[in-house]
Each structure stands twice: as C-alpha cells, then as structure tokens.
Structure 1
Amino acid sequence: MNQDILFADLQSWDSERQAVCFPAQQAGALIRCWVRLDWLEKKAEMALTDEAAILAAFAEYRFDLEELAESSIDEENFNQDGEIIIG
C-alpha cells in the first residue's frame, strides 16, 4: 500500500454520473476517484436500486477500490479532468 496516497472516509453518490465519488490525496493534491454503479453491481452480484444500497456496497468493497485507485494513481491513469475512474 502506497503511504503517500491517503483516502478520507468520505464517499458520495452522484446520480447523474451513476457513480460513487471517493477522494484521495497525494502530495497535498486532491484526486477525485469514481467507481461506476455497474462495477458495484457486478461485484455485489445484484441490482443496487437506491443510494443506501449503493453506499453499502461501496463500503463492502472499499478496500479493493482504494487498492485499484492507488494503482491507477501510481500509473497516472487519469482522465482528462484529472480523475480516476473505476469500472
């Protein structure tokens, strides 16, 4: 685990993007990380139809998501807006 990348215990559902945002911080820079709903549904093996269920699934897979985000940050796999997208 990269000690230079920190994750706050924050997450929020964005219904327009159909994704959960969870922030990371590296060298003082805030990096918005996103996991798409379809990724969460695939991992949970069920449809997630409300915000509470979506955030519960996110919490269940948070460790895996942070590892994936760390790898993407280390590999500089940012989108055009400087964000990390999983899924």
Structure 2
Amino acid sequence: MNQSILFTDIVDWHDAQQKLSLVAQVQGMNVTCMIKAETIEKLAAIKIENSQQALAAFEQIRFDIEDLAEELIESEAFDEQGMIQL
C-alpha cells in the first residue's frame, strides 16, 4: 500500500450516472475516483438496484477498488477532468 495515497471515507452514489465516487488524497490533493455500477456488480457478484445496494456492495469490495484506483493514480491515468475512472 502506497502511503502517499490515502482514501477518505467520502463515498457518494450518483444515481443519474449510475456511478459511485470515492476520494483519494494524493500528496495533499483530493482526487475523485469514479466507479461504474456494472464494475461494482462484477467485482461483488451482486445486482445493484438502488443506492443502498451500491454502497453495501462497495463496502464488501472496498479494498479491491482502492487497489485498482491506486494503480491508476500511480500510472497517472487521469481523465480530462482530473478524475480516475474505474
């Protein structure tokens, strides 16, 4: 685990986009990481039908998602808005 990348407890579900966002702190800057519902479904082996299910599924696989996000941050795979898309 890279100590220069820390994940906060800030996790939000975006219903219109069907994505979940989490925030990583990288050298003092906040980086928003977005993960699609279908990716969460695949990793958690669950069907997401509402925000509560999305957040519960995320908590089950949180460390896997953080590892994936960390790899993308380290490889500087930011989108045009400066976010990480999983």
Q: What's the TM-score bracket when you normalise by the shorter of the two chains?
A: over 0.9
Q: Distance in 1 between matches of 2:24 and 2:34?
A: 10
Name the % identity: 37
Cα offsets for 1:11-68 (capped at 9, x unmatched): 0000122110000011111100011000011123232101111100000110001111
RMSD: 0.9
User: How many aligned residue pairs are there?
Assistant: 86
Mind listing any 5+ residue stretches in structure 2 that lack a counterpart?
none
Match of 1:9 in 2: 9
Q: What TM-score comes out, normalization by structure 1 length?
A: 0.93
Match of 2:28 in 1: 28
Aligned 1:4-83 pairs, distance under 5 A: 4-83=4-83
What SS is found at the alignment partner of 2:9? coil
Mind listing any 5+ residue stretches in structure 1 that lack a counterpart?
none
Q: What TM-score comes out, normalization by structure 2 length?
A: 0.94
User: After the TM superposition, which parts of structure 1 deviate over 4 Å for at least 4 consecutive aligned residues?
Assistant: none
